[in-house]
């Protein structure tokens, strides 16, 4: 079962009328719990072969030999793909044709640039044979010393951070602001390298049909993947059909097609049969992106009354030796707090790692942890409650740009979150609260922020003679619920109930939905769907209002509204007729229209657009063992219009959990000598489980934004992680009186210090 083929699945509790705003359950839920959802690796076309990567065990150097003969002699092995026989590409995979064309490793040479880099692909009749064949390759290397850790190389100023953000932004005179301050904080925070670790590993089933290519592979951006594959393979992107109905998570790592996926395509070309390539968990620690470690120095100045005089946020981050993605860690300071002087600057080092990539609020997650920690330290220096300090420095306009916010209900987030959490009972000094077991209890707050972005999307809407509708868009449901929420927008756009609508998604032969990233998918694809629906309705209205036989004759386009499968007069909703009647009389089988979702340049120029939130955390710390348990987290978020409160809340809770793990759990540890990740598995790379977050609440604060897009949607995918990590870190300080500035916070940080 896949969304593009399935009839509309109707949750039992669909109410008639507006679908937007209903807390529907996910339409994919039943498919997933009953095993009907077909993920990429679940596809088994006839004649399928299995491919397994052989990966480098060194981080820098050269492969000097591979025992290809031994692997090929293994029963079941069909072929071994190495740089010697890999099918040619039309474009150098190291060519940078656009900022989203990341350099990839597809056996273009014997060079090794990071541990776990693919160095060969073994293709066999079974997964077992391919795995055994790969183990027989016995690679030899010429090893060069690996550059590991943020101090491994000389730093330089990157030309840009993120995708085209300026690496240095200066507003006002930071040094003067610091000099004039009564209270100063100068603190350096370190965050660890992190890996996306989506539940579903990157997987691809590739089938060539002449010069056409059919791919089952998880994607957060099918059109970008088609374009990238097309240029690499030298074929037209429309010859590439990507099917991506379900993703088992992505977190940014499936935003771009990566090296192992391309190797699956090339393996299928080499052997002339369909090939499946699924990454093993440990192979995901290298070729498919990660979050750079960071070292961030925050210098804050505050006047005697607690008003900030300066924010200086400097971040050192890493990229690979061969590509240029730099997490914009300092950019969070552009937005959050009013200050007459703000500087954000980045420096970078090159390490022998795979190239970092967008991961779970790239920039804001990492930067807000440092900023929110420093803000807490500044509040303490000023003798102020941390929430009062944040309210005192509330940004009424975006500080660095001076633009008004398109909407900003952060004050309400602070108020509602604090009320729910019980913040007013918080003692100002640390180490004042204990629970019944004698554990130290601490409360911390963090501010959440994430930009309200939009990319570009197109959708197609059809109303057919029986009065039902179809909406098509190649959107991406990576588990966040896009398939459900976008269908809700589609139903409203066509004035139909959900059970009258067929919603097709998850395939590249549908209109391009843009990338499911940057928390922008609902805003972008949703706007396209809304506009396509409106355009289809306008065509129906044109038919009716110009036909003397219609009760709507002469009402004019603007005088008609669509509701429950009917057009009715705006001034008299008893007068109208059904879509089926309008089409029947016109003798038409259907009307169809397309719509786009693109940012409004005027609104973009005039307003700063961000979602906001406030997160409150309680931790309990064993005073003897230093063990930290998060006991409660309450977040309150304002993100414009909420399409589906159940799914939005799920997104926010998920983000908050990642915030907890940012502060306390996640850390990829690179071996200093070899550059290999020592904990490249889910046993030793810690992600939070239920027991790590006993009580979690996400409140949604009402916010109407007339500027962001037609529906007022801001996005909820990533904001939950921002602010949450800082809230946890600040709670640890409040519990213990120990300020830990290296993340994740470890037991020994507290035991040694207290
Ligand atoms: Mo996200 S890191 O934009 O998938």
For range 662-668, the mean pLDDT? 98
Render pLDDT for 414-428 as a digit per residue (tens, 0 to 9): 999 999 999 999 999
Pocket test for ligand 1, best of 202, 249, 252, 479 (most atoms within 8 A of CB): 252
User: What is the CATH code of the structural domain delimited by 404-454+600-754?
Assistant: 3.30.365.10
| 358 CA to centre of ligand 1 in angstroms | 6
359 lines ligand 1 (CB under 6 A): yes
230 lines ligand 1 (CB under 6 A): no
Render pLDDT for 105-159 as a digit per residue (tens, 0 to 9): 999 999 999 999 999 999 999 999 999 999 999 999 999 999 999 999 899 999 9
Residue 291 in contact with residue 721, Cβ under 8 Å?
no
pLDDT of res. 752 = 65
| 359 CA to centre of ligand 1 in angstroms | 5
> Rounded distance, CA 343 to CA 571, Å?
55
pLDDT of res. 8 = 41
Q: Per-residue confidence at 77, pLDDT binned at 50, 70, 90? A: very high
325 lines ligand 1 (CB under 6 A): no
CA-CA distances (angstroms) from residue 516 to 36, 259, 522, 528, 717? 23, 20, 8, 14, 10
Listing DSSP states for 634-647 in one string gives EEEEE-B--S-HHH
Q: Give the residue whose CA is nearest to atom 4 of ligand 1.
A: 252
For the chain, what percent of residues have pLDDT higher than 70? 97
The bridge status of strand 457-464 relative to strand 342-351 is unpaired
Render pLDDT for 674-684 as a digit per residue (tens, 0 to 9): 999 999 999 99
Return the number of other C-beta atoms located less than 10 Å from residue 109's C-beta: 11
The bridge status of strand 696-700 relative to strand 628-638 is parallel
| 655 CA to centre of ligand 1 in angstroms | 12
pLDDT of res. 753 = 58
- Look at the block and give the residue holding tokens 């100045």: 301
pLDDT of res. 4 = 42
In ligand 1, the atom with minimum distance to the C-alpha of 362 is 2
255 lines ligand 1 (CB under 6 A): yes
Render pLDDT for 562-601 as a digit per residue (tens, 0 to 9): 999 999 999 898 999 999 999 999 999 999 999 999 999 9
252 lines ligand 1 (CB under 6 A): yes
655 lines ligand 1 (CB under 6 A): no
Phi, psi of 130 (to 5 degrees): -65, -40
Low-confidence winner among 11-15, 404-408, 687-691 (lowest mean pLDDT): 11-15
Q: Which of 308, 377, 314, 357 lies closest to 337 in space, CA to CA?
A: 308
- Look at the block and give the residue holding tokens 């390298």: 193
> Does 404-454+600-754 match 151-196+289-402 at the fold level?
yes
pLDDT of res. 381 = 98
> Rounded distance, CA 650 to CA 488, Å?
17
pLDDT of res. 2 = 43
Residue 105 in contact with residue 93, Cβ under 8 Å?
yes
Options 3.60.90.10, 3.30.365.10, 3.90.1150.10, 3.40.225.10; CATH for 151-196+289-402 is: 3.30.365.10
CA-CA distances (angstroms) from residue 530 to 6, 186, 462, 646? 22, 49, 13, 21
362 lines ligand 1 (CB under 6 A): yes
Render pLDDT for 321-369 as a digit per residue (tens, 0 to 9): 999 999 999 999 999 999 999 999 999 999 999 999 999 999 999 999 9
For range 285-303, the mean pLDDT? 98
Mean pLDDT of the chain: 95
Read off the tokens for 605. 């120029």
408 lines ligand 1 (CB under 6 A): no
In ligand 1, the atom with minimum distance to the C-alpha of 254 is 4
Q: Which of 119, 145, 192, 65 lies closest to 321 in space, CA to CA?
A: 145
250 lines ligand 1 (CB under 6 A): yes
Q: Which of 444, 314, 308 lies closest to 378 in space, CA to CA?
A: 308
| 179 CA to centre of ligand 1 in angstroms | 39
Which residues, 6+ apart, have CB-to-CB distance to 248 below 8 Å? 39, 198, 199, 200, 218, 479
Query: Which 3 state secondary structure label does DSSP give 132?
Result: helix
| 652 CA to centre of ligand 1 in angstroms | 14
In ligand 1, the atom with minimum distance to the C-alpha of 252 is 4
Pocket test for ligand 1, best of 197, 328, 451, 518 (most atoms within 8 A of CB): 518
pLDDT of res. 386 = 98
Q: Which of 106, 137, 162 lies closest to 287 in space, CA to CA?
A: 106
221 lines ligand 1 (CB under 6 A): no
| 594 CA to centre of ligand 1 in angstroms | 27
Q: Which of 390, 40, 94 lies closest to 202 in space, CA to CA?
A: 40
pLDDT of res. 153 = 85
Element at 275 (helix H, strand E): strand 275-278
Query: Which 3 state secondary structure label does DSSP give 719?
Result: coil
pLDDT of res. 556 = 78
In ligand 1, the atom with minimum distance to the C-alpha of 519 is 3
In ligand 1, the atom with minimum distance to the C-alpha of 718 is 1
User: Residues with catalytic annotation?
Assistant: 718
Render pLDDT for 483-500 as a digit per residue (tens, 0 to 9): 999 999 999 999 999 999
In ligand 1, the atom with minimum distance to the C-alpha of 517 is 3
632 lines ligand 1 (CB under 6 A): no
Dihedral sign (CA 81, 85, 89, 92): positive
> Rounded distance, CA 408 to CA 585, Å?
49
360 lines ligand 1 (CB under 6 A): yes
Pocket test for ligand 1, best of 517, 520, 719 (most atoms within 8 A of CB): 517
626 lines ligand 1 (CB under 6 A): no
> Rounded distance, CA 506 to CA 520, Å?
17
518 lines ligand 1 (CB under 6 A): yes
367: left (phi over 0), alpha (psi -120 to 50) or beta: alpha
Read off the tokens for 698. 């996400």
| 374 CA to centre of ligand 1 in angstroms | 26
What residue ranges do the domains of the chain occupy?
4-37+455-598, 41-145+204-284, 151-196+289-402, 404-454+600-754
| 342 CA to centre of ligand 1 in angstroms | 26
For range 386-397, the mean pLDDT? 98
What predicted TM-score, i.e. pTM, was given to this entire model? 0.96
For range 212-239, the mean pLDDT? 98
Listing DSSP states for 665-691 in one string gives T----B-TTT--BTT-STTTS----GG
In ligand 1, the atom with minimum distance to the C-alpha of 253 is 4
| 357 CA to centre of ligand 1 in angstroms | 9
Render pLDDT for 508-521 as a digit per residue (tens, 0 to 9): 999 999 999 999 99
Options 3.40.50.300, 3.40.1010.10, 3.30.365.10, 2.60.120.10; CATH for 4-37+455-598 is: 3.30.365.10
Pocket test for ligand 1, best of 255, 256, 524, 662 (most atoms within 8 A of CB): 255
524 lines ligand 1 (CB under 6 A): no
Q: Which of 43, 127, 133 lies closest to 81 in space, CA to CA?
A: 133
| 300 CA to centre of ligand 1 in angstroms | 30
Q: Can the peptide bond before residue 744 be classed as cis, meaning omega within 30 degrees of 0? A: yes
| 515 CA to centre of ligand 1 in angstroms | 9
Question: What fold is seen in the domain 41-145+204-284?
Answer: Aldehyde Oxidoreductase; domain 3 (3.90.1170)
> Rounded distance, CA 3 to CA 245, Å?
6
In ligand 1, the atom with minimum distance to the C-alpha of 520 is 3
pLDDT of res. 180 = 98
pLDDT of res. 336 = 96
For range 24-46, the mean pLDDT? 95
Dihedral sign (CA 175, 177, 180, 182): negative
Q: Per-residue confidence at 372, pLDDT binned at 50, 70, 90? A: very high
In ligand 1, the atom with minimum distance to the C-alpha of 357 is 2
The answer on pLDDT for 206 being more than 60 is yes
358 lines ligand 1 (CB under 6 A): yes
The answer on pLDDT for 17 being more than 80 is no
Q: Which of 132, 133, 82 lies closest to 110 in space, CA to CA?
A: 82
In ligand 1, the atom with minimum distance to the C-alpha of 516 is 4
| 360 CA to centre of ligand 1 in angstroms | 5
| 252 CA to centre of ligand 1 in angstroms | 4
Instruction: Using CB atoms within 10 Å of the CB of residue 111, give its burial: 0 to 12 exposed, 13 to 18 middle, 19+ buried.
Output: middle
Query: Which 3 state secondary structure label does DSSP give 536?
Result: helix
Task: Report, in angstroms and rounded to the nearest whole number, the Rg of the chain calculated over CA atoms.
Answer: 27
414 lines ligand 1 (CB under 6 A): no
Render pLDDT for 427-442 as a digit per residue (tens, 0 to 9): 999 999 999 999 999 9
Q: Per-residue confidence at 6, pLDDT binned at 50, 70, 90? A: very low
In ligand 1, the atom with minimum distance to the C-alpha of 361 is 2
Element at 619 (helix H, strand E): strand 610-621
Return the number of other C-beta atoms located less than 10 Å from residue 88's C-beta: 8
- Look at the block and give the residue holding tokens 């990341």: 102
The answer on pLDDT for 7 being more than 50 is no
Render pLDDT for 695-733 as a digit per residue (tens, 0 to 9): 999 999 999 999 999 999 999 999 999 999 999 999 999
Pocket test for ligand 1, best of 196, 718, 722 (most atoms within 8 A of CB): 718
| 726 CA to centre of ligand 1 in angstroms | 20
Q: What angle do CA 213, 195, 81 make, to 5 degrees?
A: 40
The answer on pLDDT for 693 being more than 90 is no
Strand 696-700: give its sheet, edge to edge: 433-434, 440-451, 610-621, 628-638, 696-700
The answer on pLDDT for 5 being more than 60 is no
For range 615-640, the mean pLDDT? 97
């Amino acid at each position: 079962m896949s969304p593009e083929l399935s009839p509309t699945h109707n949750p039992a509790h669909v109410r008639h009328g507006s679908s937007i705003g209903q807390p529907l359950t996910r339409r994919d839920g039943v498919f997933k719990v009953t095993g009907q959802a077909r993920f990429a690796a679940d596809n088994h076309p006839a004649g399928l072969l299995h491919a397994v990567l052989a990966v480098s065990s060194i981080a820098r150097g050269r492969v000097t030999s591979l025992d290809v003969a031994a692997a090929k002699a293994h029963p079941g092995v069909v072929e071994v793909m190495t740089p010697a026989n890999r099918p040619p590409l039309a474009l150098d995979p190291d060519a940078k044709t656009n900022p989203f064309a990341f350099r990839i490793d597809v056996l273009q040479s014997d060079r090794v640039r990071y541990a776990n880099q693919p160095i060969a692909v073994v293709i066999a009749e079974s997964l077992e044979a391919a795995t055994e064949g790969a183990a027989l390759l016995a690679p030899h290397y010429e090893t060069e010393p690996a550059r590991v850790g943020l101090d491994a190389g000389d730093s330089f100023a990157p030309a840009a951070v993120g995708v085209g953000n300026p690496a240095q932004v200066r507003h006002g005179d930071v040094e003067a602001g610091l000099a004039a301050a009564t209270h100063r904080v100068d603190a350096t925070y370190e965050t660890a390298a992190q890996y996306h670790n989506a539940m579903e590993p990157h997987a691809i089933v590739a089938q060539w049909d002449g010069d056409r290519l059919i791919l089952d592979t998880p994607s957060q951006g099918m059109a970008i993947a088609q374009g990238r594959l097309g240029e690499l393979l030298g074929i037209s992107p429309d010859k590439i059909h990507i099917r991506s109905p379900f993703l088992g998570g992505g977190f940014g790592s499936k935003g771009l097609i990566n090296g192992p996926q391309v190797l699956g395509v090339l393996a299928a070309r080499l052997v002339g049969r369909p090939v499946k390539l699924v990454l093993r968990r440990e192979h995901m620690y290298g070729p498919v992106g990660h979050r750079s470690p960071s070292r961030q120095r925050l210098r804050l100045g505050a006047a005697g009354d607690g008003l900030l005089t300066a924010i200086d946020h400097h971040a050192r981050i890493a990229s690979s030796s061969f590509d240029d993605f730099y997490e914009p860690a300092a950019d969070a300071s552009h937005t959050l707090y009013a200050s007459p002087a703000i500087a954000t600057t980045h420096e970078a080092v090159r390490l022998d790692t795979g190239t970092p990539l967008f991961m779970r609020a790239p920039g804001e997650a990492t930067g807000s942890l440092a900023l929110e920690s420093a803000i807490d330290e500044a509040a303490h220096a000023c003798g102020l409650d941390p929430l009062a300090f944040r309210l005192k420095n509330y940004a009424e306009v975006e500080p660095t740009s001076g633009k008004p916010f398109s909407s900003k209900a952060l004050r309400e987030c602070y108020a509602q979150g604090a009320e729910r959490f019980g913040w007013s009972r918080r003692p100002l000094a640390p180490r004042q609260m204990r629970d019944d077991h004698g554990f130290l209890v601490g409360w911390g707050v963090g501010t959440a922020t994430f930009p309200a972005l939009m990319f570009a999307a197109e959708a197609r809407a059809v109303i057919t003679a029986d009065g039902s509708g179809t909406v098509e868009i190649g959107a991406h449901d990576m588990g966040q619920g896009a398939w459900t929420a976008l269908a809700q927008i589609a139903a409203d756009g066509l004035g139909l109930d959900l059970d009258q609508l067929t919603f097709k998604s998850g395939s590249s032969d549908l209109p391009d939905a843009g990338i499911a990233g940057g928390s922008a998918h609902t805003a972008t694809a949703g706007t396209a769907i809304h506009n396509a629906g409106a355009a289809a309705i306008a065509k129906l209205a044109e038919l009716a209002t110009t036909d003397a036989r219609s009760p709507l004759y002469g009402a004019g386009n603007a005088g008609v509204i669509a509701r429950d499968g009917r057009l009715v007069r705006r001034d008299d909703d008893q007068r109208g007729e059904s879509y089926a009647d309008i089409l029947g009389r016109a003798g038409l089988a259907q009307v169809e229209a397309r719509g786009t979702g693109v940012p409004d340049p005027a609104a973009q120029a005039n307003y700063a657009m961000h979602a906001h939130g406030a997160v409150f955390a309680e931790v309990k710390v064993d005073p003897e063992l230093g063990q930290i348990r998060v006991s409660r987290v309450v977040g309150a978020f304002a993100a414009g219009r909420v399409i589906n409160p159940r799914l939005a809340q799920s997104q926010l809770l998920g983000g908050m959990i990642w915030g907890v793990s940012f502060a306390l759990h996640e850390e990829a540890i690179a071996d200093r000598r070899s550059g290999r990740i020592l904990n490249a598995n889910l046993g030793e790379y810690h992600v939070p489980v239920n027991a790590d977050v006993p009580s979690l609440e996400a409140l949604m604060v009402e916010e109407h934004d007339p500027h962001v897009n037609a529906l007022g949607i801001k996005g909820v995918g990533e904001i939950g992680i921002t602010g949450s990590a800082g809230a946890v870190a600040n709670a640890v300080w409040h519990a213990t009186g120990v300020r830990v500035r290296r993340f994740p916070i470890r037991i020994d940080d507290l035991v040694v210090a207290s």
